[in-house]
Amino acid sequence: KRAALYGTTRSGGDFDGGTVLQFTQPGGNAVETVLYSFATSGADGSDPRAGLVVDAAGNLYSTTYSGGAIDAGTVFKLAPPSVLGGAWTYSLLHSFVGGPDGAYPAAPVLLKNGALYGLTTQGGDKHCFADLGYTCGTLFTVKP
């Protein structure tokens, strides 16, 4: 197994909604591979802004800032291919719907004791900054 570096882009890819990338250096040459391309809108999310976390099985986890059920972001998993060179498998783990659920995650997730933890930039207590029309954001947990 070769070492790899993973990252996201907020836009670009096949559908201009962002990508998940893998960088490797086979034979000393840097190679960039797009593992997944997000659409600019849709159920799987778009606009990934956070880095990725990798579990012991090589699964990648992160969030998208928008897309999902009401365009408020998602939590997703990419599973590595079962055969070398095969396609990675996308799974939607959570779609944010605002309010107490939160909306618009942008910070990296943490994987601890089999659960993902993260923050949203909006949602939560409607009384925070109510005079300005803002909400506070939430701390969320998702079991993959």
pLDDT single digits (tens) 20-75: 999 998 777 889 999 999 998 889 999 999 999 999 999 999 999 999 999 999 99
pTM confidence score: 0.91
Name the residue with tokens 């197994």: 1
19: pLDDT confidence band, cut at 50, 70 and 90?
very high
Q: How many residues does the chain have?
A: 144
- CA 129, CA 74: separation in Å to the nearest integer? 25
127: pLDDT confidence band, cut at 50, 70 and 90?
low
Contact (Cβ atoms closer than 8 angstroms) between residue 73 and residue 120: yes
